[in-house]
Amino acid sequence: MKKIYLVAPHKLGTIAPEVYGHFSEHIGGVFYDGLWVGRDSSIPNIRGFRKDLIEKLQKIKPPVLRWPGGCYAEVYNWRDGIGEDRPTRINWWTRNDHRYEPNTVGTHEFLDLCELIGAKAYFATNVTSSSPMEARNWMDYCLSPEGTTTLAKERARNGHPQPFDIPYWGVGNENWGGGGNMRPEYYADEYRRYATLMNNAFPEARLFACGTNFEDFNWTQKVIASLQSQKSYTHGFAMHYYCGFAGDPVGFTEEEWDRQLRQAKGIEYAIKRNWNIISGFNAQDKIKLVVDEWGCWHPDGSGPSKGYNLFEQQSTLRDAMVAALSLNIFNNHCEKIAMTNVAQLVNNLHALFLAGGEHCIVTPTYHVYDMFKEHQGAEAIETVVTDNSDFAESLSVSASVKDGQLLVTVGNLSCRHDAAFTLEQVGMKLASQGSAVLLHDDDLHAHNTFDEPERVKTVSYTFDSAQPVTIPKGAVLALRIPFAE
Ligand code: AHR
């Protein structure tokens, strides 16, 4: 029997709510027929956004939403998405289906979505095909006080006299790849041009520099080295980490289950190495990690649109386990991480929702976000698990304390065996009864479909915190226990 030591005196830091953030790009079916159905649609909507999805999203308390890309941000002209008579543009990111970008959802609509779901906005600016002045103009349009600049007056004419609240601004996206195939030295110089203008006009904006892909630490080294004079207003280094191509998204083998989880676990190494480099330049108090794209990336075509929506994929308990493992890692490294954004929200890679026409269902990953949501803003504490060195038979664990309660989230990474553990309290006294939420299915390939929307769901029960707890193979468990009176 394993033991999970909950070491209350060893606080790891506060888990920024933004660690539980999301990403929505103009790509495939994320917006059109996903989030957005249109104001005149017969599908129930709130100001054009799919009502069912909005309500489910509100439930998991999304703290932040990134937009408009991804790679799409690098071809986006913000002026296309404001006012009347919006132009239709080529959108390479819907290339599979020859759809074009109508710009129906632009700045005002996206910020309306953020308001509806209670999320902060995170905008990605275009470095590849635009200019620092255009980035600053977009900020001017969005952020300048009412009645001041010409762009603020244009914003008012478009229906929003008060400035919008957009705390986070990314400078480019994947500039080592789809964002211009830049060398790190070149990107760093571009970042300096952009950040200087953006910070100069709007010093309160939190700017993020483009970070690494996977384990390209040469990028980190060169970019961070060059940002010494920008350190005071660079708040994030936006790394990306995808895992996947470990077999069929729904028909994987046991060996592929293990392989996918090992790849997912690799994000911890990328976090530590990037952090070591940032700390080596003594920038750790200024520049935090922002993992603004992460998740499973499977071969195309397994989603309900059968490949029509670019990158849309089905999600099983394996994807839910990757989410639980990753979120536990983020919690355990919370002092390094300012934000993460799982890619992407709807009809895409590691999605929480699949939608189309009148259908809108949640994936197993949605349940993980629901089960973990009380980690947001909580104090993470150290956990130590005994007998946990065999990765394929290990437990992934994190714990946090908030509002007089402890939340422990556990993933049983084994696809072969159930596990049992006890909770060992170090430096705290918990009540004898707690509440448990379990995400589990006997078939680890189980997933939700439009025909069977609730095949994978959670069950809730109470449990005795002093007794051994059993967790089935491939299951995710959230335990909430109040402190003893
Ligand atoms: O999330 C899909 C794509 O993956 C994004 O546009 C890009 O940033 C990444 O390569």
pLDDT tens-digit profile of 346-374?
Answer: 999 999 999 999 999 999 999 999 999 99
pLDDT at position 95, please? 60
| Cα 399 → chain centroid | 19
From the number of C-beta atoms within 10 Å of its C-beta (0-12, 13-18, 19+), residue 446 rates as middle
Cβ within 8 Å of residue 280, ≥6 positions away: none
Q: Is the CB of 316 under 6 A from ligand 1?
A: no
User: Is 124 near ligand 1, meaning CB less than 6 Å away?
Assistant: no
Compute, in angstroms, the gap from residue 93 CA to the centroid of ligand 1: 9
Atom of ligand 1 nearest to the CA of 179: 8
What number does the ligand 1 atom closest to the CA of 69 have? 6
Quote the pLDDT of residue 94.
Answer: 65
Ligand 1, atom 5: closest residue by C-alpha: 70
Residue 239 CA to residue 231 CA, distance in Å, equals 17
Regions of the chain short of the pLDDT cut 50: none
In this structure, which residue's CA is closest to atom 4 in ligand 1?
A: 70
Residue 97 three-state SS:
helix
pTM here is 0.97
Distance from the alpha carbon of residue 62 to the mean position of ligand 1, in angstroms: 20
Residue 71 CA to ligand 1 centre (angstroms)? 6
CA of 70 to the centre of ligand 1 (A): 5
Could you give the residue numbers annotated as active site?
174, 293
> Which pLDDT score, from 0 to 100, does residue 96 have?
57
Which protein residue's CA is at the shortest distance from atom 2 of ligand 1? 70
For residue 231, the model assigns a pLDDT of 75
Instruction: Identify the pLDDT of residue 390.
Output: 97
* DSSP letter string, 393-415: G-EEEEEEEETTEEEEEEEE--S
Q: Verify whether ligand 1 is closer than 6 Å to residue 469 (CB atom).
A: no
User: Ligand 1 centroid to 123 CA: how many Å?
Assistant: 15
What angle is formed at CA 341 by the lines to CA 101 and CA 355, rounded to 5 degrees? 50
Question: For residues 41 and 50, what is the distance between their CA atoms, to the nearest angstrom?
Answer: 9
Residues 229 and 292: beta-carbon distance below 8 Å: no
Query: Closest ligand 1 atom, CA of 27?
Result: 6
Confidence at residue 194, expressed as pLDDT on a 0 to 100 scale: 97
Beta-sheet strands, E only, within 70-111? none
Residue closest via CA to ligand 1's atom 6 equals 70
Q: Whose CA is nearest to atom 8 of ligand 1?
A: 70
Residues 94, 97, 298, CA angle at the centre, nearest 5°?
70
**Cβ 313 under 6 angstroms from ligand 1:** no
- Protein residue closest via CA to atom 3 of ligand 1: 70
Using an 8 Å Cβ cutoff, are 21 and 339 in contact?
yes
What are phi and psi for residue 92, nearest 5 degrees?
Answer: -55, -25
What local confidence, expressed as pLDDT, does residue 233 receive?
A: 84
* DSSP letter for each residue of 286-325: T-EEEEEEEEEEPPS--STTTTSSTT-----HHHHHHHHH
Nearest atom within ligand 1 for CA of residue 293: 1
Whether ligand 1 lies within 6 angstroms of the CB of 74 is answered as: no
Q: How many other C-beta atoms lie within 10 A of the C-beta of residue 42?
A: 9
Mean of the per-residue pLDDT values for the chain?
96
pLDDT value of position 245: 83
pLDDT of residue 9: 95
Q: Is 18 in the pocket of ligand 1 (CB under 6 A)?
A: no
